[in-house]
Structure 1
Amino acid sequence: MACSLRAVITCGIILAVLDVIHGLATTGFYGYRFIVESFYLCPLDLPIDKCHNKNYVYEQMFETRVYIGIGEGIVGVLFSLFYVMALVKRKPSLTWLWLLKSFAIIAINIFYLSSWLIRQESYDYIKWEKAEYEDEFVFTAQALTLAQIVIMVIYCLIGGVFTYKVCEERTASRRSLNHKRKWDSNNATAPPLDNYDEEEALYLNKALTNSEKTLPVRASRNSLSELSRADTFKHSTGV
């Protein structure tokens, strides 16, 4: 593939930023609905009986969704930040965990959309006026679901390319390391002496200092020790 791994990571980070905006929009909408419906659900001119009915319908159909929506947006932002960290650390297995959040959000929105559409006519036996926020809930859920599906499709494309690039880079790194080991083994020097003792060192030093440039005859260990002591005595008594 022509694109580099850095370019793929950049595209993934941009996608994560869009998903953060999606999470903030989710939290903002449901947080706004929580504040409005908690303090301004019933206008002052609304009769008390209709106000009670309105509160009842809201509690049955929308209140739980508001709480879930606030948590949904916060969790979405956390998953997006986790996704960015996985991209920077180049961990493909961790980036795919983002799909869990995406599937969960789509499933929640589809469940509540179908529930609202089915249960709209379930409260005809009570007197209440249909509020504008009901359509807002439906339209917002549709928009957030569609946006999440688009983000998920783009994410799968980026995730596939990212996984391929990381595996390709790791394979090239392993090949380079194996080639280096083979090169070092071909150019290796002779192994060190295992039984390298003091007497052997004296013999090699004497060979190096020999003026005739010839190796001396290797003597036995006893004679070599005597030669060493004699040579030491000679140097110590010389003028």
Structure 2
Amino acid sequence: MSAEGFATGRTWLGLMSAAALAACTPHIPPSPETGFVSVSQPFNVGDAGIAARAYHRSGAYTRGLATVADEATRYLAARASSTKRPAVVLDIDETALSNWKILKLDDFGRPIQGPCDIALDAPCGWAAWDQLGQAVAIEPTLRLFRQARALGVPVFFITGRPENQRAVTERNLLAAGYEGYAHLYMVPDGSRFPSAADFKAPVRASIEAAGYTILVNMGDQPSDLIGGHAEGKFLLPDPFYRVP
């Protein structure tokens, strides 16, 4: 999910949350036996980056994506024929398309501005990266998309990317295999929302108001799903960043 239209953007790794702070280690008083003194602190960001890379490298991330998306595919197949005007809603970044290449280059940071030359193996600005249109399909999501199309179920994309990226986003989706979706909803240029949910939930409501029943709403952030207006909610794994 892109965060450019949302007030606070992506947080580095998404791991500096209140939950992480609550899990801080307690103060350890001086001990003559150990000679060791420590105080409470948040989870170490460097360790979080190492853990995130290991999670991806191990294959656990890919397996997690498949587990969730395949369950969504089964749910859609079971409900579509008995539902009047069924629909599917998908997020884009880290849901339909993977930005792993730039996540690694930026060490899980989120610099919006700046150039992006992936041949240099150096940090990239996210806006410039999006304009390259090189994000690749997340295969389990593409399977869900193709199943929906085979069933005649329209698919709507709702993304935090800004409207001025429409042309390149549409080209990227098509190149990745997402052909024949119903509509792509993007954040209007200049608009800001406190949370992704403040943009996405009303869009889902408008889809429902048009007569659709959203059987599957799938994204990588809790803010993709909260706010109602969907029957089945499917949260893909994403330990790499958090969008409020």
| The structure with more radius of gyration | 1
TM-score, normalisation: structure 2 = 0.28
User: Counting helix residues as a fraction of each chain, which structure ranks higher?
Assistant: 1
Greater relative contact order (Cα < 8 A, sep 6+): 2
TM-score, normalisation: structure 1 = 0.29
User: Counting strand residues as a fraction of each chain, which structure ranks higher?
Assistant: 2
